[in-house]
């Protein structure tokens, strides 16, 4: 009996999954049709009996999982299934989404697509639980049978830093009930290092986060102490807005937003374990104190906290950052789940007391008179009085002191092995590496309006505390300074991000997302950008929708994530303008036109923002049209000014757009002569000017991009066995097998894969394609259509059952 | 029964059943393996007669399945399911072929086993054979049959009887030693000796194609070699497509694209210089030159990029220095572009048309130049009616000289047709040599001819016939200087600018021919390239990319001049890097691929 059932089931399964796989698009209707066709009702009933042997079922099918007769309760939202429905089995389609098959009152199978299952909560019997245990899996969790064992959410975000906040806000705003777990509720959105947001490449990230509906830009626009646009002379693609922020105010404001967002719950907890389900999926997390929280999506944003250890000189202390305890146990748990972790190091400089600094010896660095904004939402723009930063320089004494005490630093003394960021070197690194440079710039930046602390930018060090003050006092203006906090380095665990997809979901566990410093990045902006993406995808995943991945060339966020998942990152990753090959297309001013439509689609841009956006875009395009059609002649008043500015005279009747293309001719000149459009805001004018002025370059870059897309978006099958491609170098085979790039472009960027390998790979794929094509033609010519054998299968199956 | 080899590939689940039916196929993931099993059952093959060769690569799986790690395990019936089951239990991901690899699925008892599928992974499976030496009229004393592929040794072993150990050789399998020549005989199925041969086995990967290659050197003439080829074909090899050996060498990573292209050029080379150029490219001369340029561009690009991100830490960028580096790059690109013309001429040879009024000495010039009496020379105007060809070698390039009918208004129908042909020849030529008589000076007739041909020719160039902006050079030869009063006759200025060279000659006495050759060599860009020892020449595909790089660099210079921000400099520089990368193969484009696949017949 058992054998018969087994075989029946086995063939049923094969038949079943074969059908699913061979249809490109899964249509639940046709599925239920094929079910009812191939199996009579009594067979289905006999399958129910099979549930007595769940072990076999589990053993044979990953795609089809039977669940025992269970009850479910329509919890929230408009799920209108009759309560008498019985779940029959779960199958997983080609994209690995699970769908439930139900039997209705008449025992007719009905397929409930995963997307609509969300409202249902399954309650499994104890027998099934045991079965899982028997089948050799770790019994990690059970579905909650009552409210006592754990709380249930759609998304759980672990960590309340810049990444965690964005993730939680995005997910909650998309309608997912979201739990934000953090070690310390008072430290939400804390800025433990530089109290600044933006800077080269990072500002683009903030603009993009805002365009997608993130929070970082808005909070910065509300809490800034000073704003400046850097790189003014280097071209519009690299203009970088940088804001000093009030670190306390920033945290408070962000906390207010987090606390007041609907669907978002916050809780203090140290997460020490990720709960894993039967199908390599995440079911929730367990806290250090043994409480379980359940959700189909979990976002880990642990920052520097996983096994964090801070160093001052030779002394070290287990801590996530100064004064806060590290998180224990999670790394080990992730490792036991098969994740590869590594260790990184970063640091923060000392803070000095503003009252002990002699400002007369310092060069003032005031903010820009005309303040620019991170957010595209004018409502978020709140003008504040600006504070000043100060500039000082290292002196020969500084260099001397460091050279004498190099052995006291962790890196040169050799007791910390973790890699620090090359792009944010400590002062001793700078002095060792740039021996020729006599002096390095040091910025003194206020940390807040009511805080006496000054941040000494460019002066992070691993020297012991007893030397730090002496070192600070070698700087002009700081001769008598008092130190409020010492500089320290922090060492922490991170996960090698190639274990994630471009959606930031891990390849190993469904529903588990990594975001922020845990992926090996450094910087608030990088963290926020990842957080937003992870939050969006976590909410989407819990809602069984398609996940969002940003193409590398679409945005800096896309570039960041692509780099993370492709490159084997062994030092903290910082966003740089040079990391983007097509940055002229990825400017700050057009971030909204690039990304706001996406933000709207995912549901993070409300109607008001959307209307603003559309109006702005239409104003810009009509203005461009106007400038292209309005012509002036050499006799007009503006002609002389243009000729003077560009040192070329005007001989003909030319449209204004052509005038703008000339060097040193700006929109403001049009304004002077009343030829500008007063309806446009300053930002909009800037957009128009850049688009017209650099049109030729933009078009050229677009062409480059298209060529590249054409070349690089050639997909690589995800089950490709690189080890079997003998023409690849051994290193390339290893690296590619590890990273499993999704297209040729990604493969190109994998370290250790040289162009010859890419050539070989392309040729291999092309040969495969051609062979397949030839075979298809050959097979088509054979007079033995596969349908016939499928019929045979059916007959066999039915014969078997009789 | 010998195992048949099939073309292998990773397959989607969708094609498995059909493929299995046709017994071709595959590398598999575990999931697809199940489908195979099912298919086997549909083919009425009972599960317990099935055996599978499985390689288990996951350590924990070895333990549970009792399979030996990393080796081929032959499993039967339920054991196959057991392995699958364990893989399931141990959370092996589907579609992840590394844990479990099925290499062969066999049904039937060991005596009479039938392979249902053999899974292999290299790109080419069938064994190809071809006659490597020329066939037909040119008979050599030796002919070579070349055979390459996994069955090469097996095929040759069938028919080859080594003379080393003459007895009982055919019972034991022939085991060739790589790169050792063996003497023996080829014996056909009936046991008749076909020929006495030398066999040169070159086993993988130390061979031209990186596969097992065997060359059979037999006696020349069509008969022996054809019989041997025929035997090889019967033995299981198939006839190679044109260029397929080189294609395999390329596909198996033995050479890169530009090298593969060079092989074709080397084989078809018509002169020594052409062969040398192809050989230089084959050895990577061009690649390394372009790669060096690309490296310089990349360095400059990296420097500019660094300035965008870390201005404070690095010394400022010297604009003058940047311009200088770009100029040097431009110069090098231009330099290599010059060889493109040479490359084309080396491959196809050059045509020089000699045009002019009747009776200025065109035919004498041809005769003098080719040191022959190809053309009839008389004092009568209009002696030459048809085009007379003569072949010479100039600067290593094969040159076809075309002597044409003198161009003039005439009523003679035959001469009219001759004049038309002359004009056509001038239009198609690579260099036009216009001959005038030094005694008469520049006449209205000369003027008429010049304008007639020149205008047509120029409009063609403007229409973009030539990608390299290469306009046909004109050489003005003033013949009969021995009879002229002054050495050089005055030429109108508007005409003068269109001629690249002026050479005084006396065809009858052979004066000035050397100067004429030198002028031609210089005009087509041969002189310089040869003088600096650079042997290679770029082909058309490469020339297009070089042009792209040059244009980008020119734009970059313009941007710097216009004082545009540094970020804009990088855009054009990047363009140049991409273009150069396409030549050296560092940047693979679709065109390159399609080029490969149009040239070679892949997948048949």
Please list every residue in chain A whose beta carbon sits closer than 8 Å to the beta carbon of residue B90.
Answer: 136
Work out the average pLDDT over A736-765.
Answer: 82
Q: Is the pLDDT of residue B3 over 60?
A: no
Strands A264-268 and A271-276: unpaired
Please list every residue in chain A whose beta carbon sits closer than 8 Å to the beta carbon of residue B101.
Answer: 721
Packed helices A695-712 and B566-584: angle between N→C axes, nearest 10 degrees = 30
Residue A726: closest C-alpha in chain B = B122
* CB contact set of A523 (below 8 Å; sequence gap of 6+): A202, A574, A575
Which residues, in sequence order, are bridge partners of residue B107?
B50, B114
Q: Between residues B459 and A148, which one has the greater pLDDT? A: B459
User: Which tokens is A339 given?
Assistant: 């994740």
Where does the pLDDT of residue A90 fall: very low under 50, low under 70, confident under 90, or very high at 90 and above?
A: low
Q: How far is B427 from chain A (nearest CA, A)?
A: 37
Identify the pLDDT of residue B525. 63
Mutation test of the interface with chain B: which of A280, A556, A724, choosing the one with the most B Cβ atoms within 10 A? A724
Please list every residue in chain B whose beta carbon sits closer than 8 Å to the beta carbon of residue A663.
Answer: 562-564
Q: How far is CA B237 from CA A779, B5, B158, in A?
A: 23, 12, 12
Which of A99, A273, A268 is closest to A180 using CA atoms? A268
Interface contact A775-B7, CB threshold 8 A: yes
Question: Which of A280, A697, A775 is the closest to B568 by Cβ?
Answer: A697
CA–CA separation, B566 and B529 (whole Å): 35
Identify the pLDDT of residue B361. 84
Percent of chain A with pLDDT over 70: 76
Identify the pLDDT of residue A233. 85
3-class state of residue B356 by DSSP: strand
How would you class A719 by CB atoms within 10 Å of its CB: exposed for 0-12, middle for 13-18, buried for 19 or more?
Answer: buried
Residue A22: closest C-alpha in chain B = B14
Question: Which of B19, B313, B575 is the closest to A704 by Cβ?
Answer: B575
Q: How far is CA A195 from CA A219, A244, A455, A570, A588, in A?
A: 13, 6, 8, 26, 21
Residue A368 · residue A228 · CB < 8 Å? yes
Q: Kindly report the pTM of this predicted structure.
A: 0.68
Q: Between residues B266 and B356, which one has the greater pLDDT? A: B356
Work out the average pLDDT over A706-710.
Answer: 79
Q: Tally the C-alpha atoms within 13 A of residue B345's C-alpha that lie toward its C-beta.
A: 28
Interface contact B313-A430, CB threshold 8 A: yes
Residue B330 · residue B554 · CB < 8 Å? yes
Of A456-470, A698-712, A779-793, which one has max mean pLDDT?
A: A456-470
- Kindly report which listed range (A489-493, A610-614, A796-800, B81-85) carries the lowest average pLDDT score: A796-800
Where does the pLDDT of residue B139 fall: very low under 50, low under 70, confident under 90, or very high at 90 and above?
A: low
Mean pLDDT of chain A: 78
CA–CA separation, A554 and A583 (whole Å): 10
Q: How far is B236 from chain A (nearest CA, A)?
A: 20
Identify the pLDDT of residue B600. 46
Sheet containing strand A196-198, strands side by side: A196-198, A240-245, A224-230
Question: Which of A233, A779, A792 is the closest to B18 by Cβ?
Answer: A779
CA–CA separation, B257 and A438 (whole Å): 50
Residue A437: closest C-alpha in chain B = B313
User: Which tokens is A634 given?
Assistant: 């050499």
Q: Is the pLDDT of residue A586 over 60?
A: yes
Residue A441 · residue A391 · CB < 8 Å? yes
Question: Which of B24, B95, B313 is the closest to A719 by Cβ?
Answer: B95
Interface contact A59-B121, CB threshold 8 A: no
Which of B207, B205, B193 is closest to B163 using CA atoms? B193
Q: Where are the alpha helices (DSSP H) in A212-294?
A: 216-223, 247-260
Q: How far is A23 from chain B (nearest CA, A)?
A: 9
Interface contact A756-B253, CB threshold 8 A: yes
* CB contact set of A284 (below 8 Å; sequence gap of 6+): A141, A150, A152, A156, A274, A275, A292, A293, A294, A295, A298
CA–CA separation, B99 and B171 (whole Å): 41
Q: Is the pLDDT of residue B103 over 60?
A: no
Q: Between residues A684 and A27, which one has the greater pLDDT? A: A684
Q: Is the pLDDT of residue B45 over 60?
A: no
Which of A149, A174, A418 is closest to A292 using CA atoms? A149
Where does the pLDDT of residue B593 fall: very low under 50, low under 70, confident under 90, or very high at 90 and above?
A: low
Q: What is the pLDDT of residues A108-132, one digit of tens each?
A: 555 554 433 433 333 333 333 333 3
CA–CA separation, A541 and A557 (whole Å): 20
Angle at A491 between CA A488 and CA A492, to 5 degrees: 140
Largest CA distance in chain A: 101
User: Which tokens is A113 given?
Assistant: 């697509």
Q: H-helix or E-strand containing A342? A: strand A341-348
User: Which tokens is A696 given?
Assistant: 């030729």
Interface contact A704-B571, CB threshold 8 A: yes
Q: How far is CA B48 from CA A427, B78, B183, in A?
A: 72, 7, 49
Interface contact B98-A737, CB threshold 8 A: yes
Identify the pLDDT of residue A320. 87
Interface contact B88-A62, CB threshold 8 A: yes
CA–CA separation, B44 and A379 (whole Å): 73
Angle at A226 between CA A225 and CA A231, to 5 degrees: 150
Strands B350-356 and B397-403: parallel
Residue A17: closest C-alpha in chain B = B35
Residue B279 · residue B535 · CB < 8 Å? yes
Provide the strand spans (E) within B423-529.
431-437, 474-479, 501-504
Please list every residue in chain B whose beta carbon sits closer than 8 Å to the beta carbon of residue A700.
Answer: 571-572, 575
CA–CA separation, A366 and B435 (whole Å): 78
Work out the average pLDDT over A614-620.
Answer: 94
Which residues, in sequence order, are bridge partners of residue B479?
B437
Q: Is the pLDDT of residue B368 over 70?
A: yes
CA–CA separation, A169 and B68 (whole Å): 52
The values of phi and psi at residue B498, to 5°, are -85, -15
Residue A98 · residue A64 · CB < 8 Å? no
Sheet containing strand B350-356, strands side by side: B388-394, B397-403, B350-356, B431-437, B474-479, B501-504
Residue-by-residue DSSP string for A715-759: B--TT--GGG-TTS-HHHHHHHHHH--SBHHHHHHSTT--HHHHH
Where does the pLDDT of residue B2 fall: very low under 50, low under 70, confident under 90, or very high at 90 and above?
A: very low
Q: Tally the C-alpha atoms within 13 A of residue A272's C-alpha that lie toward its C-beta.
A: 10
Residue A32 · residue A109 · CB < 8 Å? yes
CA–CA separation, A265 and A273 (whole Å): 20
Mutation test of the interface with chain A: which of B8, B9, B604, choosing the one with the most A Cβ atoms within 10 A? B9
Identify the pLDDT of residue B6. 27
Q: Is the pLDDT of residue A174 over 70?
A: yes
Identify the pLDDT of residue B85. 60
* CB contact set of A57 (below 8 Å; sequence gap of 6+): A9, A50, A51, A64, A65, A66
Identify the pLDDT of residue A118. 37
Mutation test of the interface with chain B: which of A133, A433, A662, A771, choosing the one with the most B Cβ atoms within 10 A? A771
Q: Tally the C-alpha atoms within 13 A of residue B357's C-alpha that lie toward its C-beta.
A: 16
Q: What is the pLDDT of residues A290-304, one digit of tens each?
A: 899 999 999 999 999
Eight-class DSSP state of A360: G
Q: Is the pLDDT of residue A45 over 50?
A: no
Classify residue A428 as left (phi > 0), alpha (psi -120 to 50) or beta.
Answer: alpha
Q: Does B581 lie at the interface with A, CB-CB under 8 angstroms?
A: yes
Residue with tokens 């002496």: A470
Q: What is the pLDDT of residues A233-278, one digit of tens each?
A: 888 888 999 999 999 999 999 999 999 999 999 999 999 999 988 7
Residue B22: closest C-alpha in chain A = A779
Residue A705: closest C-alpha in chain B = B575
Please list every residue in chain A whose beta carbon sits closer than 8 Å to the beta carbon of residue B99.
Answer: none
Question: Which of B7, B567, B596 is the closest to A235 by Cβ?
Answer: B567
Residue A239 · residue A199 · CB < 8 Å? no
Mean pLDDT of chain B: 71
CA–CA separation, B420 and A728 (whole Å): 58
Interface contact B121-A724, CB threshold 8 A: yes
- Kindly report which listed range (A95-109, B93-107, B145-159) carries the lowest average pLDDT score: B93-107
Q: H-helix or E-strand containing B115? A: strand B114-118
Which of B51, B239, B24, B248 is closest to B120 using CA atoms? B24
3-class state of residue A505 by DSSP: strand
User: Which tokens is A378 given?
Assistant: 């004018």
* CB contact set of B594 (below 8 Å; sequence gap of 6+): none
User: Which residues 131-160 of chain B have a CB within 8 Å of chain A?
Assistant: none
Q: Is the pLDDT of residue A425 over 80?
A: no
Residue A434: closest C-alpha in chain B = B313
Which residues, in sequence order, are bridge partners of residue B503?
B477
Residue with tokens 């995912």: A602
User: Which tokens is B302 given?
Assistant: 């990296």
Counting one residue from chain A and one from chain B, the pairs whose CB atoms sit within 8 A come to: 187
Percent of chain B with pLDDT over 70: 59
CA–CA separation, A773 and A777 (whole Å): 6
């Amino acid at each position: 009996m058992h054998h018969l059932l087994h075989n029946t089931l086995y063939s049923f399964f094969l038949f079943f999954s074969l059908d699913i796989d061979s249809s490109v698009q899964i249509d639940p209707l046709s599925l239920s049709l094929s079910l009812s066709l191939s199996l009579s009702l009594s067979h289905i009933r006999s399958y129910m009996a099979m549930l007595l042997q769940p072990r076999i079922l589990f053993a044979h099918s990953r795609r089809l999982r039977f669940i025992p007769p269970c009850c479910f309760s329509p919890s929230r939202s408009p799920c209108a299934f009759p309560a008498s429905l019985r779940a029959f089995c779960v199958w997983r389609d080609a994209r690995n989404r699970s769908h439930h098959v139900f039997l209705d009152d008449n025992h007719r199978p009905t397929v409930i697509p995963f997307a609509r299952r969300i409202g249902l909560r399954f309650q499994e019997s104890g027998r099934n639980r045991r079965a899982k245990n028997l089948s050799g899996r770790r019994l990690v969790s059970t579905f909650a049978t009552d409210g006592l064992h754990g709380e249930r959410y759609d998304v759980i975000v672990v960590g309340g830093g810049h990444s965690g906040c964005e993730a939680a806000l995005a997910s909650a705003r998309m309608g997912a009930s979201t739990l934000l777990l953090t070690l310390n509720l008072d430290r939400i959105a804390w800025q433990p290092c530089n109290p600044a947001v933006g800077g080269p490449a990072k500002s683009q990230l903030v603009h993009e986060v805002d365009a997608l509906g993130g929070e970082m830009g808005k909070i910065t626009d509300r809490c800034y102490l000073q704003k400046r646009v850097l790189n003014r002379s280097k071209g519009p693609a690299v203009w970088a807005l940088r804001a000093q922020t009030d670190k306390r105010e920033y945290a408070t404001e962000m906390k207010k937003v987090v606390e007041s967002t609907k669907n978002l719950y916050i809780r203090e907890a140290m997460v020490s374990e990720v709960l894993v389900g039967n199908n390599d999926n995440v079911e929730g997390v367990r806290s250090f104190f043994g409480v379980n929280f359940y959700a189909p999506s979990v976002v880990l944003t642990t920052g520097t906290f996983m096994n964090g250890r801070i160093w001052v000189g030779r002394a070290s202390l287990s801590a996530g950052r100064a004064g806060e305890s590290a998180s224990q146990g999670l790394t080990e748990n992730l490792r036991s789940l098969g994740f590869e972790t590594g260790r990184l190091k970063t640091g923060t400089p000392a803070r000095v007391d503003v009252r002990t600094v002699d400002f007369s010896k310092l060069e003032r660095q005031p903010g820009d008179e005309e303040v620019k904004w991170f957010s595209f939402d004018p409502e978020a723009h709140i003008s504040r009085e600006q504070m000043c930063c100060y500039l000082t320089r290292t002196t020969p004494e500084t260099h001397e002191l460091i050279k004498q005490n190099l052995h006291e630093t962790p890196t040169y003394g050799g007791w910390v092995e973790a890699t620090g960021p090359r792009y944010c070197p400590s002062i001793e690194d700078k002095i060792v590496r740039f021996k020729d440079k006599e002096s390095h710039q040091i910025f003194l930046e206020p940390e807040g309006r009511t805080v006496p602390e000054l941040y000494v930018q460019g002066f992070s060090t691993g020297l012991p505390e007893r030397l730090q003050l002496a070192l600070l006092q070698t700087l002009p203006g700081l001769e008598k300074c008092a130190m409020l906090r010492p500089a320290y380095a922090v060492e922490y665990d991170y996960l090698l991000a190639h274990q994630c997809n471009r959606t930031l979901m891990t390849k190993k566990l469904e529903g588990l997302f990594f975001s922020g410093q845990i992926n090996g990045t450094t910087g608030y902006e990088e963290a926020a950008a990842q957080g937003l993406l992870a939050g969006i995808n976590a909410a989407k995943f819990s809602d069984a929708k398609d996940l969002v991945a940003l193409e590398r060339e679409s945005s800096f966020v896309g570039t960041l994530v692509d780099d993370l998942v492709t490159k084997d990152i062994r030092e903290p990753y910082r966003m740089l303008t040079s990391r983007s090959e097509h940055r002229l297309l990825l400017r700050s001013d057009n971030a909204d036109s690039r990304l706001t439509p996406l933000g709207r689609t995912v549901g993070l841009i409300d109607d008001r923002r959307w209307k603003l956006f559309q109006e702005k875009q239409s104003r810009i395009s009509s203005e461009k049209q106007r400038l292209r059609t309005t012509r002036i002649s050499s006799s007009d008043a503006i002609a002389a000014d243009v000729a003077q500015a560009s040192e070329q005279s005007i001989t003909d009747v030319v449209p204004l757009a052509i005038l703008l293309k000339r060097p040193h001719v700006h929109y403001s000149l049009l304004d002077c002569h009343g030829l500008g459009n007063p309806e446009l805001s300053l930002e909009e004018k800037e957009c128009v000017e850049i688009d017209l002025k650099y049109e030729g370059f933009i078009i050229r870059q677009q062409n480059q991009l298209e060529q590249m897309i054409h070349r690089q978006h050639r997909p690589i099958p995800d089950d490709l066995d690189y080890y079997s491609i003998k023409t690849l170098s051994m290193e390339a085979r290893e690296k590619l097998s590890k990273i499993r790039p999704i297209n040729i472009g990604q493969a190109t960027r994998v370290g250790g894969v040289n162009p010859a390998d890419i050539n070989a790979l392309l040729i291999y794929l092309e040969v495969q394609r051609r062979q397949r094509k030839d075979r298809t033609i050959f097979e088509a010519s054979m007079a033995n259509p596969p349908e016939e054998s499928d019929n045979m299968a059916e007959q066999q199956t039915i014969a078997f059952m009789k | 029964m010998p195992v048949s080899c099939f073309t292998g590939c990773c397959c989607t689940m969708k094609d498995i059943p059909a493929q299995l039916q046709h017994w071709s196929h595959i590398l598999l993931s575990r999931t697809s393996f199940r489908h195979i099993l099912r298919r086997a059952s549909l083919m009425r093959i009972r599960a317990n007669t099935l055996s599978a060769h499985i390689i288990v690569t996951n350590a924990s799986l070895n333990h549970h399945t009792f399979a030996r790690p990393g080796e081929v395990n032959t499993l039967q019936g339920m054991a196959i399911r057991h392995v699958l089951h364990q893989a399931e239990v141990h959370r092996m991901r589907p579609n992840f072929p590394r844990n479990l690899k099925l290499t062969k699925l066999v049904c039937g008892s060991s005596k009479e086993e039938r392979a249902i599928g053999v899974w292999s992974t290299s790109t080419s499976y069938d064994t190809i054979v071809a006659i490597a030496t020329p066939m037909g009229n040119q008979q050599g004393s030796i002919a070579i049959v070349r055979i390459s592929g996994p069955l090469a040794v097996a095929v040759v072993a069938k028919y080859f009887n080594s003379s080393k150990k003459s007895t009982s050789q055919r019972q034991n399998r022939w085991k060739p030693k790589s790169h050792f020549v063996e003497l023996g005989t080829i014996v056909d199925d009936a046991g008749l000796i076909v020929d006495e041969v030398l066999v040169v086995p070159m086993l993988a990967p130390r061979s031209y194609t990186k596969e097992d290659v065997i060359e059979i050197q037999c006696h020349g003439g069509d008969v022996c070699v054809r019989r041997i080829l025929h035997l090889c074909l019967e033995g299981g090899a198939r006839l190679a497509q044109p260029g397929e050996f080189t294609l395999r060498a390329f596909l198996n990573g033995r050479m890169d694209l530009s090298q593969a292209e060079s092989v074709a050029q080397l084989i078809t080379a018509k002169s020594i210089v052409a062969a040398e150029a192809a050989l230089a490219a084959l050895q990577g001369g061009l690649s390394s030159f372009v790669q060096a340029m690309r490296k310089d561009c990349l360095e400059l690009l990296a420097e500019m990029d660094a300035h965008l991100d870390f201005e404070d830490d690095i010394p400022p960028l010297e604009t003058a220095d940047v311009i200088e580096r770009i100029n040097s790059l431009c110069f090098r690109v231009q330099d290599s572009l010059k060889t493109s013309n040479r490359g084309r001429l080396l491959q196809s040879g050059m045509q020089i048309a000699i045009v002019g009024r009747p009776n200025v000495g065109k035919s004498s010039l041809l005769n003098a130049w080719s040191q022959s009496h190809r053309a009839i020379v008389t004092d009568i105007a209009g002696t030459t009616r048809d085009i007379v060809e003569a072949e010479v070698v100039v600067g290593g390039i094969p040159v076809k000289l075309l002597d044409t009918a003198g161009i003039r208004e005439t009523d003679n129908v035959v001469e009219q047709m001759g004049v038309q042909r002359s004009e056509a020849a001038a239009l198609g030529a690579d260099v036009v040599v216009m001959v005038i008589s030094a005694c008469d000076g520049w006449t209205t007739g000369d003027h008429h001819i010049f304008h007639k041909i020149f205008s047509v020719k120029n409009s063609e160039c403007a229409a973009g016939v030539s990608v390299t902006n290469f306009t046909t050079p004109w050489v003005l030869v003033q013949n009969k200087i021995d009879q002229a009063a002054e050495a050089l006759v005055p030429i109108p200025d508007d005409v003068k600018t269109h001629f690249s060279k002026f050479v005084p000659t006396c065809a009858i006495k052979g004066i000035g021919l050397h100067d004429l050759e030198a002028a031609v060599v210089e005009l087509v860009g041969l002189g310089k390239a040869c003088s600096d020892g650079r042997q290679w020449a770029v082909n058309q595909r490469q020339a297009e990319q070089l042009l792209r790089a040059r244009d980008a660099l020119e734009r970059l210079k313009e941007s710097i001049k216009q004082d545009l921000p540094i970020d804009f400099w990088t855009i054009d520089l990047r363009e140049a890097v991409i273009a150069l990368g396409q030549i050296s193969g560092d940047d693979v484009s679709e065109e390159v691929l399609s080029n490969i696949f149009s040239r070679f017949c892949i997948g048949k």
